[in-house]
Structure 1
Amino acid sequence: MMRIIFATGNQNKVRECHEILDSVADEIISMKDAGLDPDIAEDGDTFEKNAMIKAEAVHKLAPDDLVIADDSGLCIDALNGEPGVYSARYMGKDTSYDIKNANILERLEGVPKEKRTARFVCAMAAILPDGSSFTKTGVMEGYIGDHAEGQNGFGYDPIFFVEPQNHSTASLSPDEKNAISHRGKAMRAMAEELKKRLDK
């Protein structure tokens, strides 16, 4: 029986993982559900490095399971790529995303739409029980709107808008978002690679 431990405490991410990776594993659980709480220092300078740091920390505690981890963030061109790898820690880890989003909108006030380009990036790392590992990365291009909208997403979703809908990713249904999202793309690439390696 193949069990995937997702090195996250974010149940929204676990739900998205179920929607895409259920065909690969018999069970998908968070590290919290697995009773694991490693001290992880995300000090990598790329999304890929941080994802692998998380995966390795959990793999050491659960070497018989397939461990996956992600690191994702928002990169805004007009802000020189901020918040980037610091997306979760931007303005402080315990600061609400309502405050973070309001701050970004304020910093971009007066910037025209064509210069508000941005992208969500998600890197996913996997470590198999045999110790082999790989990463896959997905990107979703869009722009920062001039207001927040939508109730379906989390994090920066309410201010990240996509074409051709011209709506925020927080306004899309879960299926619509998964079809185009950075995490959806990375997870589908991860699923394909795992199927090859596990001969599913």
Structure 2
Amino acid sequence: MITFITGNEHKVIEAENIFKDYDIKLEHVDLGYMEPQGTLEEVAEFGAKYASHKLNRPVIVEDAGLFIKALNGFPGTYSHYVQDTLGNQGILKLLNNVSDRYAEFRSVIGYCAPNSEPKT
């Protein structure tokens, strides 16, 4: 069993579908902690270390974001906040008259065991 730290039910469903192919069960725990500003790796490492220390067991966390080339990687690690505030229409407004709308969705998994440093 793996303890998966998230407050996002969609992430839980997606992870359960992935791990079931490997006969690995997930335990979902929502700690509701404040995420730092930083890279995906920094956010995932912080969350994994915090949760592992608090629960005293190995955990995984996931952080993800949409990185739009024409907007210098915005919204990136702020994707959830931007989606809640600007929404898709707001992001499209920012891309008005932009022909290259290349974007990447990036995801990072963080793992940490008690008394260890986190890994991504």
User: Is TM (by shorter chain) over 0.5?
Assistant: yes
Q: Which residue of 2 aligns with 1:122?
A: 107
Q: Which residue of 1 aligns with 2:12?
A: 14
Q: Which residue of 1 aligns with 2:89?
A: 102
CA distance in 2, matches of 1:19, 1:127: 22
TM superposition score normalised by structure 2: 0.84
1:132: Cα distance to partner? 5.7
Counterpart selection for 2:78 from 78, 83, 86: 86
Change over 3 Å in CA distance of 1:62–1:5 after alignment to 2: same
What SS does the aligned partner of 1:57 have? helix
Q: RMSD across aligned C-alpha pairs, in angstroms?
A: 2.1
Answering whether residue 65 of structure 2 is matched by residue 73 of structure 1, we say yes
Unaligned runs of 5+ in 2: none
Q: Which residue of 2 aligns with 1:190?
A: none
1:1-200 matches, within 5 Å, as 3-22=1-20, 23=22, 25=24, 27-32=25-30, 37-38=31-32, 40-64=33-57, 66-90=58-82, 95=84, 99-112=86-99, 115-128=100-113, 131=116, 133-135=118-120
Computing the radius of gyration over CA atoms, which structure comes out larger, 1 or 2?
1
Amino acid at match of 2:61: A
TM superposition score normalised by structure 1: 0.53
Bigger RCO of structures 1 and 2 (CA < 8 A, at least 6 apart): 2
Aligned residues: 119
**1:136-192, Cα deviation, whole Å (9 max, x unpaired):** xxxxxxxxxxxxxxxxxxxxxxxxxxxxxxxxxxxxxxxxxxxxxxxxxxxxxxxxx
